[in-house]
């Protein structure tokens, strides 16, 4: 499928596959956002934590075993069970932390610390549970050994304080650090998501503004063109009513094309030239003895796309600028040709010798602004005297070979020529 010309000549702003940004209310707080991407990040982080803790315990126990010191670290299956038990608690704690946020800090900080401590305090009991389940896996012998070990360690209050409390505090400290790293990771990822979505929303807003700007620029042309044509018909009514009636019919056709073109960003170059021809023929009816027009035939121009109504202000300016200030004949010539990968559009009109250059009017300023909005630095526009009796308005823009609805693979020129 052919891409829109505007999409092919302007930088891609939106991320592929993204269409509409999340609602502003859902993006206002991280806890209201979709948790699925963060869930994947947290799962990968917890797998890393479990594997690193497991490898550390195995390697340290192996070092102690060489010195004939056993059962310093819990067995590997007990640690796996511990991390499996802590995993849903870790996910819930992280989700709660994200929903809590950090604003205002005086209220959020105690809640965040409470959430972290609640998770870290449960790490040691989870390990005890893991040791118990691992002992059950080893059958009656393992269960008896586990009960004998617990009675030896927890046989008295002093034994509990001497052995379990320090281990519990060490576990809390270790898992607080783990929790802190996880919170920093998920907070950073959530911040990245918000930043990315903000950029996408900004890009969408800028694109919508650009579209509105272009629509406003196109609408500027309609009343300006219609105003001039009505004055042209008015001059015919009093002394040539049949010609005025014919011009009204042509004006209706021109207005219909004007409205249709004003709704589109781009049009075929051949259609633009047909519209220009219709406008110039209307003007030629009034100035038949002075005005000569030369416009390429539709079949002789490149199958290219141009911004809608981009030539209309140029030929309108050529009529007004060429006929003003003298009573001699005026020739208006429209040219369109390809130079490399660029399309060149030119409108030339004869002027009175020695006529000073006028100021840039609304039409030419409109053309310059539209090219800047749609192409940026990729397009240029110039207007001024080419010599003493010739005015030249020239557009250089990227060559757009196809557009919306254009058949793919269509040759650029019907006859294979490079220039009409």
CATH code, domain with 313: 3.30.565.10
Residue 59 is assigned to a structural domain of this protein: yes
243, 319: one domain: yes
- pLDDT exceeds 60 at position 258: yes
Which of 138-152, 287-301, 336-350 has the highest average model confidence (pLDDT)? 336-350
Summary mean pLDDT of the chain? 75
Between 19-33, 286-300, 319-333, 362-376, the lowest mean confidence (pLDDT) is in 19-33
What is the chain's alpha carbon radius of gyration, rounded to the nearest angstrom? Answer: 39
Q: Considering the entire predicted model, what is its pTM?
A: 0.51
Last residue of a domain, one of 167, 182, 208: 208
Phi, psi of 50 (to 5 degrees): -60, -45
Question: Is residue 18 assigned to a domain?
Answer: no
Domain total in the chain: 2
pLDDT of residue 334: 94
User: Are 341 and 194 in the same domain?
Assistant: no
Domain shared by 230 and 203, yes or no: no
Indicate whether 131 belongs to any domain: yes
Indicate if 113 and 160 belong to the same structural domain.
yes
Residue 345 has pLDDT above 70, yes or no: yes
* pLDDT of 16 higher than 60: no
pLDDT of 28 strictly over 80: no
Instruction: Looking at the structure, tell me whether residues 330 and 181 fall in a common domain.
Output: no
Q: Is residue 88 part of a domain?
A: yes
Same domain as 291, residue 186: no
- Domain co-membership, 119 together with 161: yes
**Domain containing residue 364:** 223-398
User: Is the same domain home to 251 and 120?
Assistant: no
228 and 197, same structural domain? no
Looking at 208, 240, 265, the residue that finishes a domain is 208
- The answer to whether the beta carbons of residues 399 and 379 sit under 8 Å apart is no
pLDDT digits (tens, 9 = 90+) for 69-79: 666 677 788 88
The answer to whether residue 9 is domain-embedded is no
Q: Which residue has the higher pLDDT, 378 or 366?
A: 378
pLDDT score, position 65: 75
What is the spatial distance between Cα 336 and Cα 344, in angstroms, rounded to a whole number? 6
Q: Are residues 167 and 30 in the same domain?
A: yes
Q: Examine residue 104 and say whether the peptide bond preceding it is cis (omega within 30 degrees of 0).
A: yes
At which of 165, 184, 208 does a domain end? 208
Whether residue 60 is found in the same domain as residue 83: yes
Asked if 183 and 242 sit in the same domain, the reply is no
Does some domain include residue 11?
no
Residue 407 lies in a domain: no
Strands 342-350 and 330-339: antiparallel
Only one residue has tokens 């992280």, namely 94
Residue 12 lies in a domain: no
Which of 37, 21, 176, 47 is CA-nearest to residue 98? 37
């Amino acid at each position: 499928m052919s891409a829109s010309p505007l999409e092919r000549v302007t930088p891609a702003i939106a991320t592929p596959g993204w269409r509409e940004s999340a609602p502003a209310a859902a993006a206002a707080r991280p806890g209201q956002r979709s948790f699925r991407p963060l869930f994947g990040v947290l799962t990968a982080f917890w797998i890393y934590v479990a594997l690193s803790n497991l490898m550390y315990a195995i390697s340290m126990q192996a070092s102690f075993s060489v010195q004939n010191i056993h059962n310093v670290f819990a067995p590997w299956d007990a640690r796996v069970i511990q991390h499996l038990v802590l995993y849903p608690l870790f996910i819930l704690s992280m989700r709660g932390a994200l929903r809590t946020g950090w604003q205002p800090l005086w209220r959020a900080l105690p809640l965040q610390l409470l959430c972290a401590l609640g998770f870290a305090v449960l790490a040691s009991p989870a390990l005890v549970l893991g040791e118990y389940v691992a002992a059950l896996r080893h059958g009656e012998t393992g269960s008896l050994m586990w009960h004998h070990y617990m009675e030896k360690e927890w046989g008295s209050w002093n034994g509990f304080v001497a052995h379990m409390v320090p281990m519990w505090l060490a576990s809390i400290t270790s898992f607080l650090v783990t929790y802190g790293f996880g919170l920093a990771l998920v907070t950073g990822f959530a911040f990245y998501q918000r930043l990315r979505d903000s950029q996408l929303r900004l890009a969408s807003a800028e694109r919508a503004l650009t579209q509105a700007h272009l629509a406003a620029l196109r609408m500027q042309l309609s009343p300006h063109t219609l105003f001039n044509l009505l004055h042209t018909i008015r001059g015919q009514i009093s002394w040539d009513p049949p010609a005025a009636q014919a011009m009204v019919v042509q004006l209706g056709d021109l207005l219909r094309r004007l409205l249709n073109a004003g709704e589109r960003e781009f049009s075929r170059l051949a259609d633009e030239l047909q519209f220009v021809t219709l406008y110039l023929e209307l003007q030629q009816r009034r100035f038949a003895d002075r005005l000569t027009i030369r416009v390429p035939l539709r079949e002789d121009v490149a199958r290219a796309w141009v911004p809608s109504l981009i030539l209309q202000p140029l030929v309108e300016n050529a009529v007004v600028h060429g006929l003003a200030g003298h009573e001699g004949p005026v020739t208006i010539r429209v040219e369109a040709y390809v130079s490399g990968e660029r399309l060149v559009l030119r409108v030339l009109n004869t002027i009175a010798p020695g006529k000073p250059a006028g100021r840039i009017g609304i039409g030419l300023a409109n053309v310059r602004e539209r090219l800047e909005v749609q192409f940026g630095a990729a397009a240029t526009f110039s207007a001024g005297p080419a010599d003493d009796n010739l005015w030249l308005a020239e557009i250089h823009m990227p060559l757009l070979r196809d557009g919306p609805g254009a058949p793919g693979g269509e040759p650029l020129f019907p006859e294979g020529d490079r220039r009409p």
